[in-house]
Structure 1
Amino acid sequence: MPILPSFSAAQLESICNVLADPNDGLTGAEIGALLREKNITDPYPAVLKRHRLFEALREQQELDGCGNNIAAFILAALQPARYTDKEELFKRRLERLNAVLGLDGYQISPDGLLKVVAPSHQSTEAQDRARRLRSELVRRGVHPNVLRCCLPELLTESCYPAVYEATRGLEEQIREKTGLNLEGVELVEQALGLRIGPLLAFNTLQSEAEHAEHLAISALIKNLISVFKSTSAVEIHSAWALGEAEAIDLLTLASMLHRRVDHAVLTRQV
């Protein structure tokens, strides 16, 4: 393999978001095995798998001064032989990774080989869609974490990926505030549930009205994550061509929930 330029931090993060996706990415055990296979140091094996993989690949790339070991890891993760009975999973990962790698002028072929191609540029349509979304969301004063999701590379076909990323960011925000190493609905229930007292509280919980408010916000978060972070999210995406008006409403909702989590109080340490 010729010497490949280093991947940017943003590209590396996008690669790790695909390979370590909490719904259909590599498991923690698979990440550990692949890092060992490619002789890449695993500096933080106990952290969330996206962060774990990012730090491992970032440190290796800094040591190498090139992107070759990153490419080797990706190719190992996408070896067709690993997917003999998981064809749909292979197609999903391949499609998502190629969308990221195409920006740097690479593609992985269906037979698991890295090819150099002309760098892809996001369509004018996607750029225009991102501009319209950002303009309206800025006007509404949405949370910065939501604005970051309005990128042309996420909006090539529909607005679904932008809402997905905003929802993923909400989940990440809860993890960072609580220290819980959980995903999806389980994370929400452990962080916000009232059964044994919430780790994060949206108010003082001193009255029936405050209990009702806390439960209502928790239900909104749980339902949003249930839809956009469910194991059937890929099927939902294919069936739900989310338009701009719906996306703006959902992103505005996600913004409100981001702000409520920002101001939520940690009641105890995990």
Structure 2
Amino acid sequence: MNKPKKIFDPLSGSVIEGISRTLGETNNGLTGDEISKFLHESNITDTEPGITKWKRLFNAFVNHQNKYRNSNNILSFINKSMSPARFIGKYEKFEHLRFELNKILSFSGLQLKENGKFTLTEITTTISEAEQKANRLKSKLELRNTHEKIFEYCKAELLTDNYFHSVFEAVKSIADTIRQKTGLSQDGGELIDLAFSTKNPLLKINKLSNETEESEQKGFANLIKGVFGMFRNTTAHTPKIIWSINESDALDILSTISLIHRRIEQAE
């Protein structure tokens, strides 16, 4: 016996508009031919094919929903247009669209997963809640298998994609972790010199049995000092509006800090 098809409630006009603007966006959205293809495959009438892309989608979606009183075919359109197979070699574009769609869909209690399918989620009522649920930065860091310390120290900042403060909190986590492992109370360069000394080290990233291993220990200590100098000190004393960090920078910086945490975790 076939399982009855789930009927999804109609979407609000503002949610439909947000979906239409995202999928009809000039640079990252669908082409005119793609809109024609997926409207046809989703059994939605293309009411005004000659107008602006987002308005074309909006009018088609609203017309269909008003007629059938559910959003099934609109959601089918999103599934088809956001099929992961369409984005091979275009992961950044896929994630950008998924992130933007999820902010809008959260107001209807829906979330588009990485496999291109929907899952139910708690309905959001504010912009900040929608941003948290979309959670683009955290998702990308998870794909990089980022060290758990990053998520432990940056939880609130990551939930709102706050690159500036995510980096600041993550850098602070390095010193905290070293103090916890060594019992030292110092900070900055003094902490690093005492913890990773090659003569009387409290933490060893290798056996320090030859010149090469001693150089590696010194290099690791200098790497941490460099991270402190460039990112912790800068973010602590410079206003966010002046010292700007974009998503790519944040991902690279946080991945470096993740590497540092792995080496500290493995240190003797």
TM range (shorter): 0.3 to 0.5
Bigger-Rg structure (1/2) = 2
What TM-score does the superposition give when structure 2 sets the normalisation length? 0.48
The normalised TM-score by structure 1 is 0.47
Determine which structure has greater relative contact order: mean sequence separation of CA pairs < 8 Å that are 6+ residues apart, divided by chain length.
1
